[in-house]
Structure 1
Amino acid sequence: MSVAASSGSLAPSWLGVPADANALAAGVWPAAAGRDADGVLTLGGVSAAELRERFGTPVYVLDESEVRARARRVLGAFSAATARHAGRARVYYAGKAFLCAEIVRWVTQEGLGIDVCSGGELAVALAADADPERIGFHGNNKSVAELEAAVAAGVGSVVVDSRIELERLSAIADRRGVRQPVLLRVSSGVHAETHEFLATAHEDQKFGFALAEAPEAAARARELPGLELVGLHAHIGSQIFGSSGFRESAARMVELHAQLSADGELAVLNLGGGFGIAHTVGDDPAPIEQLADEIVDAAAQECEVRGIPLPELAFEPGRVIVGPAGVTLYEVGTVKPVAASDEQTRVYVSVDGGMGDNPRHALYGADYSARLASRTSDAEPALARVVGKHCESGDIVVDAEYLPGDVAPGDLLAVPATGAYCFSLASDYNFVPRPPVVAVRDGAARAIVRRETIADLLARDAGIDTGSPTEGEG
């Protein structure tokens, strides 16, 4: 069935009817994405048809070369920006965006450290042979067991989030006869231009010490026998396109850095991450080189005004490295034209995944793009909504997109810019197993995270005898 495009309020203002509904917009898709002679989408030199045949759908596809290139680009941008001011930069990959052993290996081989925020993420990083001294450990409620693991591993820094954690961590380190390097997480009070749930530096939220509380917390950290205060940390939010919030936060943090440095050296100022990416043609994030220059210039200017040297600046990008490298492939199951009003029709395209593998629209109202992946089409574009198979009306993957009007069951659909916070946030809601992650590079594909199976789900149910030992047994 073919449904022609209609204009009107159903489409968001940024979404125009495309001249070619098969085109892959630059900046939204991996740089190496293209189409072969048959019109089939290729990722890292591997066709979507081959990926479906070998790995099934849904499947997360990650372009290894793109991840590595982006890691190098980010490190180069911040290194160059700080070098202009006779400074140095550290870059940590934010593992919460997406973490598995291979990702750890890729980014560390490209010169980045690893930022983790749970015992599980720490375990993955260590299992992949990350250098513990180049690991930073975040979290507003680290358990005693997690802190014990961090100290035992010798992580390079723990970002302390509360007075309770200062005391708790010092006791653990002192008992082990070591001094654990720490940074104080500070809420700079900057209100980032992002979704409320992604803003992390405003006053009324769970992270860090308020600016006014930081001097007392720093003094206590310096008193405690098990801690070595090495710096400050701030993070204003995520999916931020411009530099204004980062620059304001940097200025406030340099002022605090100067104040606290009067009582002892603080070598590191970590300004966090949160750099945004394009998910649709309506998104226009600033290039990372521009952001790096503007943020570092702001920090350096504040240091110059105060007559202090620029500390070593640290940054924690995640999404900007892995997000654009990822594409999720789905198979279309049903296509249903729905009269949204007396004059307008929207096509509901149901795929074999949904909010279980990409909950970001349900959580944040995040927008995504989509394209046919198994062929090209000359059909007129139709306004479509890509939805999943979960039992929720809010199970939406792509809220609005123009797809060829002849989209049909069995077609492959590709959703770009899904490398970050899709796998990480995935669930097995409705007992739908989570997809695998497949890495592509130079025409070869391999699974780096295997597909979850029904057997995996059953094995965790203590009321079902699967022959596997339950917790505390075996």
Structure 2
Amino acid sequence: MAQPTNGSGVRAASPSPLAPTWLAVPSDLNRLEPKMWAHDVERASDGGLAVGGLGVGELAEQFGTPLFVLSEDDFRTRARSFKDAFDSAFADVCGGVDVYYAGKAFLCSAVAAWVVEEGLRLDTCSGGELAVAAKAGVPGELLGLHGNNKSDAEIERALDMRVGRIVVDSLDELERVAAIAAARAERDWAHDPERREARAKVMLRLTPGVHAHTHEFIATAHEDQKFGLSMAPGTASAEFRAEVAEESGDGAAAGASAAEEAVAAASGHDSIELLGLHCHIGSQIFEPEGFELAAVKLLTFVAAMRSAYGVGLPEVDLGGGYGIAYTPVDAPRPPAQIAEAMAAVVRSTCAELGITPPRISVEPGRAIAGPSTFTLYRAGTVKDVVVDVPETGAAPDSTAVRRYLSVDGGMSDNARPVLYDADYSAVLASRASVAPPQLTRVVGKHCESGDIVVRDAYLPADAGRGDLLAVPGTGAYCWALSSNYNYLGRPGVVAVRHGSARWIVRGETEQDLLSRDMGV
């Protein structure tokens, strides 16, 4: 008797007892889940994947594997959609929004140029990222510099480039920025009174204590972590609390926060132009409540600082962290929905507080870069391993087969599964298949048992050596976190647009790897 099919020619199968509960058996292994892919990725007539009209077989032949394949049109469209959505939602609140692309997600000179061309600004986190922005010709006023441990050289470079804002992360850093800016002003004035440098434009990064529903290491607004100035009562220094007590009484001193101390300190420096406040509650967040609560806390703080010190804080950055779909069960919100929800909270909160709404800025990174890119791998070894089935829902002492499918990359090009236990998906990319689904663990070629690319995916049972596999959603934090572990060269990034492909980051060669070895 023939095995029944699901109507698409693919033979049906029961769920594997080893599969996580959220992973359903696909009704069609050849179908692409649109929310996980760039808009111009599709199955071509030969059954293989194509992006922007170019088949993955052609890309693999020309550029090799592993390979990051980026749809330039998709990246640009996502960037522009954030700018348009936030400008529209905040038009009546503060006249629009400054959207900063978070360069830490993925940055090269081409991406920096695209960001500016689509009307966005660029957020950087290091001197190296500033160097990329400079090479790409990004105007300084469109740049921000983040980082919890900026070197004096990075601060000097930011001031040289006249960046639009330096996001200060601590009281110590605030004093260093003020001192460096003051010294530069004195030096420039002595050299040429007509060329006195402008003040350092500063935003203060605050931790509002909002716990994002995400992995511990990417939740960045709770108190016990390295980023930002605490808004919690009683976190100011003893010296500042003594000053407050002298001026306002012991009750006010007991409630003074590190954030309040930073505002007072920044306002006292002639070399600092205090623009406003910044926060970032985490990454890969789907629920809107965290963003809304953070906005309320920062706006309430803005009102309090005006009342207590007469200090105006004209700008508030509400960060980024918007989630994307790595698996079929992920449900990201479109930019317009995010923007409208945030605008409603800012609008109502400012009305309740009786303050003029500040200029709002946001920092999407993953939500722009992530879905625009997939990683293309060549499959190698296939290995079936008999393992014990977890006791829940299974007969005692039962076993099942777990398939391991190795690819020619791994944790060196995608460290997120190792760092964050992140889930990804995979599809057979070089052809279509009518073979039954087989629960498969896609693993890399490194000498680490934890070298897992996709922990659980249903792939066609006939997928094997020589096939091309594609892992979607790898545009953010994959190339950026890549390494040379086991002396593998980092993959290159190919941008596809209008039926043509080009390197925007060349893949590394063995010569590149050896070029810094002084014994060679």
What's the TM-score, normalizing by structure 2? 0.87
Residue of structure 2 in register with 1:384 after alignment: 440
Q: CA deviation at 1:5?
A: 5.0
Any idea what the Cα deviations from partners look like across 1:46-88, whole Å, max 9, x if unmatched?
A: 1100100100000000000000000010111111111143533
Alignment of 1:37-76 (within 5 A): 37-76=45-84
Residue of structure 1 in register with 2:129 after alignment: 121
Q: Which moved more, 1:284-293 or 1:244-253?
A: 284-293
Question: Do residues 176 (structure 1) and 184 (structure 2) align?
Answer: yes
Kindly indicate whether the alpha-carbon contact (under 8 Å) linking 2:350 and 2:357 is maintained by their aligned counterparts in 1.
yes
Question: Do residues 400 (structure 1) and 456 (structure 2) align?
Answer: yes
Question: Do residues 420 (structure 1) and 420 (structure 2) align?
Answer: no
Alignment of 1:61-140 (within 5 A): 61-140=69-148
Q: CA deviation at 1:248?
A: 0.3
Residue of structure 1 in register with 2:425 after alignment: 369
Question: Do residues 10 (structure 1) and 18 (structure 2) align?
Answer: yes
Kindly indicate whether the alpha-carbon contact (under 8 Å) linking 1:268 and 1:313 is maintained by their aligned counterparts in 2.
yes
- Work out the CA distance in 1 between the residues paired with 2:404 and 2:15: 17
- Work out the CA distance in 2 between the residues paired with 1:72 and 1:459: 40
Residue of structure 2 in register with 1:268 after alignment: 315
Kindly indicate whether the alpha-carbon contact (under 8 Å) linking 1:192 and 1:245 is maintained by their aligned counterparts in 2.
yes
Question: Do residues 257 (structure 1) and 316 (structure 2) align?
Answer: no
Question: Do residues 327 (structure 1) and 374 (structure 2) align?
Answer: yes
Any idea what the Cα deviations from partners look like across 1:363-396, whole Å, max 9, x if unmatched?
A: 1111111111110001001000000000111100
Alignment of 1:194-273 (within 5 A): 194-211=214-231, 212-262=257-307, 263-273=310-320
Question: Do residues 343 (structure 1) and 399 (structure 2) align?
Answer: yes
Q: What is the SS of the residue equivalent to 1:344?
A: strand
- Work out the CA distance in 2 between the residues paired with 1:153 and 1:284: 39
Kindly indicate whether the alpha-carbon contact (under 8 Å) linking 1:139 and 1:161 is maintained by their aligned counterparts in 2.
yes
Q: Which moved more, 1:129-138 or 1:80-89?
A: 80-89
Q: Which moved more, 1:408-417 or 1:86-95?
A: 86-95
Q: What is the SS of the residue equivalent to 2:203?
A: strand
Kindly indicate whether the alpha-carbon contact (under 8 Å) linking 1:237 and 1:273 is maintained by their aligned counterparts in 2.
yes
Kindly indicate whether the alpha-carbon contact (under 8 Å) linking 1:58 and 1:331 is maintained by their aligned counterparts in 2.
yes
Counterpart residue type for residue 369 of structure 2:
V
Counterpart residue type for residue 228 of structure 2:
G
- Work out the CA distance in 2 between the residues paired with 1:4 and 1:34: 23
Structure 1 moving runs of 4+ over 6 Å: none
Residue of structure 1 in register with 2:415 after alignment: 359
- Work out the CA distance in 2 between the residues paired with 1:43 and 1:360: 24
Any idea what the Cα deviations from partners look like across 1:296-317, whole Å, max 9, x if unmatched?
A: 2112211100111111000000
Q: What is the SS of the residue equivalent to 1:111?
A: coil
Q: CA deviation at 1:337?
A: 1.4
Which residue among 187, 194, 205 is the counterpart of 1:185? 205
Question: Do residues 447 (structure 1) and 503 (structure 2) align?
Answer: yes
Q: CA deviation at 1:8?
A: 4.2
- Work out the CA distance in 2 between the residues paired with 1:134 and 1:259: 29
- Work out the CA distance in 1 between the residues paired with 2:143 and 2:94: 25
Residue of structure 2 in register with 1:467 after alignment: none
- Work out the CA distance in 2 between the residues paired with 1:105 and 1:122: 13
Counterpart residue type for residue 314 of structure 1:
S
Kindly indicate whether the alpha-carbon contact (under 8 Å) linking 2:275 and 2:313 is maintained by their aligned counterparts in 1.
yes
Any idea what the Cα deviations from partners look like across 1:206-233, whole Å, max 9, x if unmatched?
A: 1111112111111111111211101000
Residue of structure 1 in register with 2:188 after alignment: none
Question: Do residues 318 (structure 1) and 365 (structure 2) align?
Answer: yes
Rg larger in structure:
2
Question: Do residues 456 (structure 1) and 512 (structure 2) align?
Answer: yes
Counterpart residue type for residue 361 of structure 2:
A
Counterpart residue type for residue 75 of structure 2:
V
Q: What is the SS of the residue equivalent to 1:146?
A: helix
Q: CA deviation at 1:344?
A: 1.2
Q: CA deviation at 1:6?
A: 5.2
Q: What is the SS of the residue equivalent to 2:93?
A: coil
Counterpart residue type for residue 176 of structure 1:
R
Kindly indicate whether the alpha-carbon contact (under 8 Å) linking 1:242 and 1:285 is maintained by their aligned counterparts in 2.
no
- Work out the CA distance in 2 between the residues paired with 1:11 and 1:28: 20
- Work out the CA distance in 1 between the residues paired with 2:96 and 2:438: 51
Structure 1 vs Structure 2: percent identity of aligned residues? 54
Residue segments in structure 1 that go unaligned for 5+ positions in a row: 465-474
What's the TM-score, normalizing by structure 1? 0.96
Q: What is the SS of the residue equivalent to 2:153?
A: helix
Counterpart residue type for residue 302 of structure 1:
T
Residue of structure 1 in register with 2:328 after alignment: 281
- Work out the CA distance in 2 between the residues paired with 1:5 and 1:414: 22
Q: What is the SS of the residue equivalent to 1:39?
A: coil
Q: From the superposition, tell whether residues 155 and 86 of structure 1 become closer, same or farther in structure 2 (CA, over 3 Å).
A: closer
Kindly indicate whether the alpha-carbon contact (under 8 Å) linking 1:4 and 1:382 is maintained by their aligned counterparts in 2.
no
